[in-house]
Amino acid sequence: MAGYHVDLEKKTEKNEYFREVLFTGPHSQLVVMSLKVGEDIGLETHPETDQFIRIEEGKGKAILNEEEFELEDGSAIVIPAGTKHNVINTSSKKPLKLYTLYSPPEHPDGTVHKKKAEAEAAEHTH
């Protein structure tokens, strides 16, 4: 594919899956995520991958190397390679809807994890 076009706000807000890779290029990757009430992405570190996250809907918190940041609609965070991080849905009522850009790509092209358990299982097999 030469490129990718989408109404990213609508796609992110309508996404019900824990993770869905929308586009993978040679140097970057676009992914949408939906975290259920109280769910998190899981504490992780990408040794060679920078990550950008933008919140489209909901409330949460990001932890970057033990520093906490409140997140809400419109919030963005940049996570440099090597940073220990987690994103947590702190809402008691709504999913946390976000999109993320990885550079370089982090997940296999076409990855869809409907639930967090699928994502965790996939991580263990790689």
CATH code, 95: 2.60.120.10
> Which tokens in the block code for residue 17?
């899956």
CA distance 39 to 123: 17
Count the residues in the chain: 126
Q: How many domains is the chain built from?
A: 1
Q: Is residue 59 part of a domain?
A: yes
Q: Which residue type occupies 13? A: E
On whether residue 36 sits in a domain, the answer given is: yes
Q: Looking at the whole model, is its pTM more than 0.85?
A: yes
In a domain, 3, yes or no: no
- CA 46, 112, 17, 73 dihedral sign is positive
pLDDT tens for the chain, 126 residues: list them. 578 999 999 999 999 999 999 999 999 999 999 999 999 999 999 999 999 999 999 999 999 999 999 999 999 999 999 999 999 999 999 999 999 999 999 999 999 999 999 999 988 775
The boundaries of the domain holding residue 43 are 8-125
